[in-house]
Structures are given as structure tokens and as C-alpha cells.
């Protein structure tokens, strides 16, 4: 995003120049799907698409926010009376974040905010977490609040859980806040410990947006979460992080089949995520490739969150990459994106096979993004 365009638009809308511009990246998850709210392991990278917020303080206690991407829609509310907005859904991310921040013991006043982003909406690349973290970065920078990246991530997650109404885990906000340039992040969602792994110079992150709109994602997401909690409860563990395949098999006779398969996905996905992050450190791409392939099969058959156009994309890209790279669906499911870790010399072949075969098979046209891993807002 050109900061000059942002500053000029801010000046036009608010009559003054912004005091600062904050940025938070979106993310792609290389492996570890739906494990985050089960206190497991995820392996995302922050990407060079994100949200920008131009900001300045106000003399009153109002937050005035304009969304460039929604035709400069304007939303204003008082810090002392933050309600859900039924008419402008995007504004609830701002309202929720400001509300949870106001509920802490930090002190801040009003602000003028101008927001824009280039994370594809509804693609599963976490435009919402990028939005939340960027707002938190802007307010904390304006008022010099003592907030670090982990605190910001927890506040963003709380806003989405309690105000927006999606039971997301911590991954999206934490990678947006704490990502490192050129690296993927192994995140332990139980302890919130972070370990950064360099991505190989020989490979690129390629994101293919299926352009299948992610229908049912919130209701199905919340249902998957309930099924995982039921599985943990039947096994007598606090979360599926504590479960093993042996324990799952022992408990299987007393468990609905659908709950068994959901739990199986989480337990095996945690193991795959650890294996893939370890293999990447030693340059063992074949192991990463196998882990990503198994992850996709598990999401398709056990967690049941893929759709036929996504499965087709994975199949044709896998035929190009073989063991030289990996490919799987990424994100919450029911549409959205496929992520590939592709050797640089095969990126063009991936693009070509998608362009040649995907539309004819599915009737959808895919968008392809070649990404770099970028720095988080608070890193």
C-alpha cells in the first residue's frame, strides 16, 4: 500500500495529516489446521498482504473510523458506549478490539482511523486478524501503550470470540503480531511459545485462491470446535493436545464416529506439524511434502472441511511438485485457499497447470499469489 495515498485520503477525510500509519500482515498456515483452539501446534507465516491504518488522536473520547475498501464508509462510536453494529459488519472488528482494550487497565482517548487492506476477503488468509492487530498497533502507538505482541494477539482473539462471535484460536492474531521476515513460526498454542524456522531460499510460498466463497464457515467452524471438545471430554483430557492415538482407540467404542474422526485429525495433525517444522530446519523437503499431503487427506476425510474444487487444485499441483514441494488446503475450510511450498523453478509450472485445468474442471477461476514471509506488527 502506498502510504502517500493513505495520508492524502486521511487528510481529505479528517482535515489533518495522520500522526502515524500502522501495518499488520495477513498469514498463511503451512500446516496445522484447526489445531490452535485445541491447544496444539501450528506453523504459519506472515505474508506480504495486510491491513494499513492511518491514525491520529482526537480531543474527545470518540473513535471515528473510515473504511476505504467499503467506499469510504464511516463509523463512529464513543469509548463509553460500544455496541454491536448490525448495519456495518466490518465495524464490529474495530468496535470489538477497542472494547476489549478499554476493558484492560490501560488508558487512551479518541482517535481518527482510516483503514485499508489487500488481504483477499473470505479466502482464509486471515484478513480479520490482520485488521484487529493493525487497529491495536495504531492505538497503542498513538497513546504509547505498554502492549506487546502476545498481549495484542490475545486482545484480538478475545474481540473476535466475545464481540464478533467467531470461536477462533490464537494463531491468526499471534502470527500477524509476531511473524518474522523470511521465516515460518512454530507456535505452541498451549504455552504460546514461539520458534521461528527459516524458509528455504530455494522455495516460494504460492497461495492459490479457489474463489469458492467460504460458505457455512462460521457455523461449521463452531460445530467442529464443539466436536473436538466432546472428544476431549470423552477421553477425560483437558484438550485434544493431551490426547494420543492409543487413548483415542481405547475410547473409540464409546464415541460417536464423527467425534472420533475429528479427534483423529487433530491428534495426527499435531504430529505432522511438529514433523514438518523439524524437517524444514534441516532442508528435508520430502518429509514436509509428505506431511502436507497427509494433512490434506485428513482435512478431507476426517475433519471434512474441504470442497471438490479445493481437492482438485491440490491434486493437479501435487502432480507438478511431487516430493520437491508440498501442497494442501489452508485456512478454516469450505472454500478459500490452497498453499503450496514450491521450488522457485516450478512456480511457473504451478501457475500454468492451474490456468489450464482448474476452470474447465470446476467453473471457477483461481487467483494466484506468490508471497514472501514478512515481519509482524509488534515483532
Over the stretch 317-350, which tens digit does the pLDDT of each residue have?
999 999 999 999 998 889 989 999 999 999 999 9
Residue 169 has pLDDT above 90, yes or no: no
Contact 241, 39 (CB under 8 A): yes
- Average pLDDT over the chain, rounded to whole? 95
- Report how far apart the first and last C-alpha atoms of the chain are (Å, whole number): 20
Alpha-carbon distance 16 to 56, whole Å?
A: 9
Q: Which among 165, 195, 241, 183 has a CA at the least distance from the CA of 27? A: 183
Can you give the chain as a three-state secondary structure string?
CCHHHHHHHHHHHHCCCCCEEEEEEEEEEEECCCCHHHCCEEEEEEEEEEEEEEEEECCCCEEEEEEHHHCCEEEEEECCECCCCCCCCCHHHHHHHHHHHHCCCCCCCCEEEEEEECCCCCCCCCHHHHHHHHHHHHHHHHCCCCCCHHHHHHHHHHHHHHHHCCCCCCHHHHHHHHCCCCEEEEEECCCCCEEEEECCCCEEEEEEECCCCCCCHHHHHHHHHHHHHHHHHHHCCCCHHHCCHHHHHHHHHHCCHHHHHHHHHHHHHHHHHHHHHHHHHCCCHHHHHHHHHHHHHHHHHCCCCCCHHHHHHHHHHHHHHHHHCEEEEECCCCCCEEEEEEEHHHHHHHHHHHHHHHHHHHCCCCEEEEECECCCCCC
Residue 311 has pLDDT above 80, yes or no: yes
Over the stretch 199-254, which tens digit does the pLDDT of each residue have?
999 999 999 999 998 765 678 888 999 999 999 999 999 999 999 999 999 999 99
- What band does 2 get if pLDDT is binned at 50, 70 and 90? confident
Residue 287 has pLDDT above 90, yes or no: yes
Q: Which among 136, 182, 183, 143 has a CA at the least distance from the CA of 157? A: 136
Residue 107 has pLDDT above 80, yes or no: yes
Indicate if 301 belongs to the active site. no
pLDDT, average across residues 166-177: 89
pLDDT, average across residues 114-138: 88
Alpha-carbon distance 61 to 98, whole Å?
A: 12
Q: Is the dihedral of CA 247, 252, 254, 257 positive or negative?
A: positive
Over the stretch 289-307, which tens digit does the pLDDT of each residue have?
999 999 999 999 999 999 9
Instruction: Give the pLDDT score at 122.
Output: 65
Residue 9 dihedral angles phi and psi, to the nearest 5°: -65, -40
Instruction: Give the pLDDT score at 166.
Output: 81
Contact 93, 128 (CB under 8 A): yes
Contact 211, 204 (CB under 8 A): no
- What band does 167 get if pLDDT is binned at 50, 70 and 90? confident
pLDDT, average across residues 63-92: 96
Alpha-carbon distance 249 to 352, whole Å?
A: 43
Q: Which cell goes with 10?
A: 486521511
pTM value is 0.90
Please list, in sequence order, all residues whose beta carbon lies within 8 angstroms of the beta carbon of residue 360, skipping any fewer than 6 positions away: none
Q: Does domain 203-371 have CATH number 3.30.70.890?
A: yes
Percent of the chain with pLDDT over 70: 98
Catalytic residue among 81, 103, 148, 172: 172
Instruction: Give the pLDDT score at 168.
Output: 79
Alpha-carbon distance 298 to 120, whole Å?
A: 26
Pick the CATH number of 3-198 from 3.30.230.10, 3.30.70.1140, 1.10.10.60, 1.10.760.10: 3.30.230.10
Instruction: Give the pLDDT score at 214.
Output: 73
Q: Where are the domains of the chain?
A: 3-198, 203-371
Percent of the chain with pLDDT over 90: 90
Q: Which among 111, 132, 162 has a CA at the least distance from the CA of 25? A: 132
Q: Which of 119-128, 223-232, 267-276 has the lowest mean pLDDT?
A: 119-128
pLDDT, average across residues 66-76: 96
Instruction: Give the pLDDT score at 191.
Output: 95
Instruction: Give the pLDDT score at 119.
Output: 86
Crossing angle between the packed helical segments 257-281 and 217-235, to the nearest 10 degrees? 100
Amino acid at each position: 500500500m502506498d502510504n502517500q495515498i493513505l495520508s492524502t485520503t486521511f487528510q481529505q477525510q479528517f482535515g489533518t495529516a495522520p500522526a502515524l500509519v500502522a501495518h499488520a500482515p495477513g498469514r498463511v498456515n503451512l500446516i496445522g489446521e484447526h489445531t490452535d483452539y485445541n491447544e496444539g501446534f501450528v506453523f504459519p507465516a506472515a505474508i506480504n498482504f495486510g491491513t494499513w491504518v492511518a491514525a491520529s488522536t482526537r480531543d474527545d473520547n470518540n473513535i471515528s473510523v473510515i473504511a476505504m475498501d467499503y467506499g469510504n464508509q464511516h463509523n463512529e462510536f464513543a469509548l463509553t458506549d460500544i455496541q454491536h453494529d448490525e448495519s456495518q459488519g466490518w465495524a464490529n472488528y474495530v468496535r470489538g478490539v477497542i472494547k476489549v482494550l478499554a476493558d484492560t487497565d490501560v488508558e487512551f482517548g479518541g482517535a481518527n482511523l482510516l483503514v485499508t487492506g489487500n488481504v483477499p476477503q473470505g479466502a482464509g488468509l486471515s484478513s480479520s486478524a490482520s485488521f484487529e492487530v493493525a487497529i491495536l498497533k495504531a492505538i497503542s502507538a498513538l497513546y504509547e501503550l505498554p502492549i506487546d505482541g502476545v498481549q495484542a494477539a490475545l486482545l484480538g482473539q478475545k474481540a473476535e470470540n466475545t464481540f464478533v462471535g467467531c470461536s477462533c484460536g490464537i494463531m491468526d492474531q499471534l502470527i500477524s503480531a509476531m511473524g518474522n521476515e523470511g521465516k515460518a513460526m512454530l507456535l505452541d498454542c498451549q504455552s504460546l511459545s514461539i520458534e521461528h524456522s527459516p524458509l528455504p531460499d530455494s522455495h516460494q510460498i504460492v497461495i492459490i485462491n479457489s474463489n469458492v466463497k467460504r460458505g457455512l464457515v462460521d457455523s461449521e467452524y463452531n460445530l467442529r470446535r464443539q466436536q473436538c471438545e466432546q472428544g476431549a471430554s470423552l477421553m477425560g483430557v483437558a484438550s485434544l493436545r493431551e490426547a494420543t492415538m492409543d487413548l483415542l482407540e481405547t475410547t473409540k467404542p464409546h464415541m460417536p464416529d464423527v467425534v472420533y474422526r475429528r479427534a483423529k485429525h487433530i491428534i495426527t495433525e499435531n504430529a505432522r506439524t511438529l514433523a514438518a517444522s523439524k524437517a524444514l530446519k534441516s532442508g528435508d523437503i520430502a518429509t514436509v511434502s509428505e506431511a502436507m499431503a497427509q494433512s490434506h487427506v485428513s482435512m478431507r476425510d476426517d475433519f471434512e472441511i474441504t470442497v471438490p474444487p479445493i481437492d482438485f487444485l491440490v491434486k493437479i499441483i501435487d502432480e507438478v511438485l511431487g516430493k520437491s514441494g508440498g501442497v494442501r488446503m489452508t485456512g478454516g475450510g469450505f472454500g478459500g485457499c490452497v498453499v503450496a511450498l514450491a521450488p522457485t523453478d516450478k512456480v511457473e509450472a504451478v501457475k500454468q497447470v492451474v490456468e489450464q485445468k482448474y476452470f474447465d474442471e470446476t467453473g471457477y477461476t483461481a487467483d494466484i499469489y506468490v508471497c514472501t514471509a514478512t515481519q509482524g506488527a509488534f515483532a
